[in-house]
Amino acid sequence: MVSVNHYLILSLLMFSIGVTGFVIRKNAIVVFMCVELMLNAVNIAFVAFARMHGNLDGEIAVFMVMVVAAAEAAVGLAIIIALFRNAKSVDTDDAAELRL
Amino acid sequence: MANVSMVDVLFALPILVPSLGALLVLLLDVFLEENWPRGIFTGVVLVGTLGAIKYVSDASGVETTLFSGVLYHDPFSVYFFLIITVTAALTLLMSEGRLRQEGIENPGEFYALYLMATAGAMIFVAAAELITLFLGLEIMSMALYCLCGSAVRLSRSSESALKYFFLGSFSSAFLLFGIALLYGLTGSTQLEVISENLVGSNSFVVAIAMGFLLFGFIFKIGAVPFHFWAPDVYQGAPTPVTAFMACTIKASALGAALRVLWMLFVENYEYYQIWSDAVWMIAILTMIIGNVVALRQRSLKRMLAYSSVGHAGYMLVAFLAPMEWGGGAALLYYIAGYGVMTIGAFGVVLAVTAAGAQERDGDDITTFNGLGNSSPVLAALMTLFLLSLAGLPPGMAGFVGKFYVFSAAVSGGYTGLVIVGVLCSAVSCYYYLRVVVAMYFIPAEAGAGDASVAPTVGLSMGSALGLCAGAVLLLGLFPSFVYDSAKLIVSGLY
């Protein structure tokens, strides 16, 4: 029997993978994917909780989060392209002009 | 069943006016000629927003929520609508005609995004429901990410946009997870329902949710340990955007954080201890790190960024002194004062660095050498704003704000925090006064492209700086006017 706890563990695992990837990866596109992974992990948690409580609030929240993630993809890729035009690289280590 | 009445729409006008204005700017940009007066149009939209706020505040007899419990319609929201719109309008006024110097090539997009961020900030602060709160936060942030990168040909601008975008979406994902956990515990995303149902929940899960929510808010407020983005982003972004972030966005995040955290964790006394310990730690670290690291900055924008981190620390002290001790009213007053003095300081930076804005070190402190000779009025205004930020002379907004915050904290029993705060203010005098010394006592080097040539101050910049200076003095000399109404506003918060 698959219970709410199983979904929550899956969600937490995905979230942790996203956080780890965000911290250790240097490629801007991969870092961006990790953020999307974190958002989708939250979506799983929302759906599991909605099922547990038997109301639809959580499932509606998922739609909102999906819209936000789509908008974030548009903005994020645009910013990465702008950076690539200026720096000829999508490596986050190369974006280090702003220092003391 | 949920239905939308006309009253809801009318009371949401302060949010709807800038949203529709943003769409109109984009639309008109397609049909009108290249140089149509976008700035004036945006200004008119913001004045219209002020009119809508006036209408809403006159009509606010009964405290209600709009759209079946999505947005709060109470004096607290109205106060923050006012702060957000006024600071946005002042920033707009001072940047009029200076966008190209800052490297912004598509003014139409700039103004549209600017209005969207303003509308998002208002949704953020008025949200009565956590998904709406998240959407407001994202509308505001998404527009800001683009604004930071709006000088598309300058690599430092796109770098600041990238850093802000990654760290911002990272922190919002944590905030969202906190919302999901609260929903899991209580079965609702309505703030009031969560606050009721939270009693007796598993306190370990509540603590995690609290930590995640705090992560999201602290990031937007720019407090330690999530302040490291602030100096880079503030320095790389075009100066008008920096001023907008430092004042409008910070005010909105503080308002939203105050409402949400107090409703959820102060009202429920079983969670108050753990909450107050966390905020105590954050406040003390923020004051110390913000003010100490500011000492070694040479770039004025970076210095003001760390100074804004330090001020976030003072404002978090007010979080710890709930209503009966006057922390909320002190915070509301402090935000107003902080907003005008910071906009003023960034305005002078914008005026002085206009010529060298494209260069990386255009805002180096040596640019201010000899400003007291070449442009005495500008130097005097900068001195006024910096002294007020340092909290030195009584009779200016900065001093009075710190006085209110610290006296509220003392009556709440946080004397240690206040001692650290006062010491940090003393430290902050050094880096603020260093700029004053540069302006008056260090002569400009010949031909170094610095202030030996008087910077041009147009009508719009002049009036914006004049209004900021006037507001700093008025708030300082007649503080009770704002403070008394702030007390009334906060008393309706619970």
For chain B, 494 residues long, the average pLDDT of each consecutive 10-residue run is 72 93 93 87 93 85 77 91 96 89 87 96 94 96 94 88 94 95 93 88 88 93 89 92 94 94 82 87 94 90 93 92 81 94 93 66 81 89 94 87 92 91 93 92 66 72 94 92 87 73
Q: Above pLDDT 90, what percent of chain B?
A: 60
CB-count exposure of residue A88 (10 Å: 0-12, 13-18, 19+): exposed
Asked if residue A39 is part of any domain, the answer here is yes
Taking the CA atoms of residue A81, residue A87, residue A91 and residue A92 in that order, the dihedral angle to the nearest 10 degrees is -90
CA B371 to chain CA mean position, Å: 28
B465 found inside a domain? yes
In terms of residues, how long is chain A?
A: 100
Interface membership of A70 toward B (CB under 8 Å): no
B439 and B382 in contact (C-beta within 8 Å)? yes
| CB neighbour list of residue A70: distance below 8 Å, 6 or more residues apart | none
Answer whether A31 sits within 8 Å of B166, measured CB to CB: yes
User: What's the token pair of residue B177?
Assistant: 């997870």
Window 43-62 of A, Cβ < 8 Å to B: 45-46, 48-49, 52-53, 55, 57-58, 60-61
Cβ contacts of residue B7 below 8 Å, gap of 6+?
none
3-state secondary structure B275-297: HHHHHHHHHHHHHHHHHHHHCCC
Contact B460, B93 (CB under 8 A): yes
Give tens-digit pLDDT for B198-218: 888 888 899 999 999 999 999
Report which of B92, B385, B456 is spatially closest to residue B239, judged by C-alpha positions: B92
The per-residue pLDDT for B368 is 85
- Pick from B159, B179, B298: which is nearest to A95 by CB? B159
Q: Which two tokens stand for residue B133?
A: 């709160």
SS (HEC) of B131-194: HHHHHHHHHHHHHHHHHHCCCCCCHHHHHHHHHHHHHHHHHHHHHHHHHHHHHHHHCCCEHHHH
A12 touches chain B (CB under 8 A): no
Residue in A with minimal Cα distance to B233: A98
Confidence of residue A100 (pLDDT cuts 50, 70, 90): low
* B165, B177, B235 member nearest A79 (Cβ): B165
| CATH assignment of the domain containing A85 | 1.10.287.3510
Q: Which residue has the tokens 């239905």?
A: B3
B201 to chain A, any CB pair closer than 8 A? The answer is no
Distance, CA of B108 to CA of B29 (rounded, Å): 6
pLDDT digits (tens, 9 = 90+) for A65-93: 999 999 999 999 999 999 898 888 888 77
Candidate from B138, B153, B165 with C-beta closest to A76: B165
C-alpha B331/C-alpha B262 separation (Å) is 13
Question: Which residue reads 């800038």 in tokens?
Answer: B18
> Which tokens in the block code for residue A90?
């999508």
Q: For residue B23, which amino acid is it?
A: L
The domain containing residue A36 runs over which residues? Answer: 26-90
Strand runs labelled E in A1-100: none
Question: Smallest Cβ distance to A75: which of B165, B187, B299?
Answer: B165
Element (H, E) at B47: helix B38-59
Is residue B415 situated within a structural domain? yes
Give the separation between CA A48 and CA B64, rounded to whole angstroms.
32
- Total Cβ atoms within 10 A of residue B427: 17
Q: Is A71 on the interface with B (CB under 8 A)?
A: yes
Of B161, B173, B232, the CB nearest to A82: B161
Q: How far is CA B276 from CA B5, B123, B271, B331, in A?
A: 40, 26, 9, 16
Q: For chain B, how many structural domains are there in total?
A: 1
- Two structure tokens written together for B84: 């957000």
Query: Mind listing the pLDDT tens digit for each residue in B258-300?
Result: 999 988 888 777 788 888 889 999 999 999 999 999 998 888 9
A51 found inside a domain: yes
User: So what's the pLDDT on residue B152?
Assistant: 86
Contact A97 B159 (CB under 8 A): yes
Contact (CB<8Å) A98/B173: no
Query: What ipTM score was computed for the predicted complex, to two decimals?
Result: 0.95
Residue B405 counted as domain residue: yes
Q: Is B399 on the interface with A (CB under 8 A)?
A: no
The whole-number pLDDT of residue B1 equals: 42
Identify the pLDDT of residue B347: 93
Q: Is residue B1 part of a domain?
A: no
Distance from the Cα of B146 to chain A's closest Cα (Å) equals 7
Contact status of A18 with chain B (Cβ, < 8 Å): yes
HSE toward the beta carbon, residue B285, CA cutoff 13 A: 14
> Are A51 and B187 spatial neighbours (Cβ–Cβ below 8 Å)?
no
* Domain span at B284: 6-491
How far apart are alpha carbons A40 and A18 in whole angstroms?
10
Q: What is the pLDDT of residue B103?
A: 84
Query: Based on the structure, what is the number of domains in chain A?
Result: 1
Indicate whether B21 belongs to any domain. yes
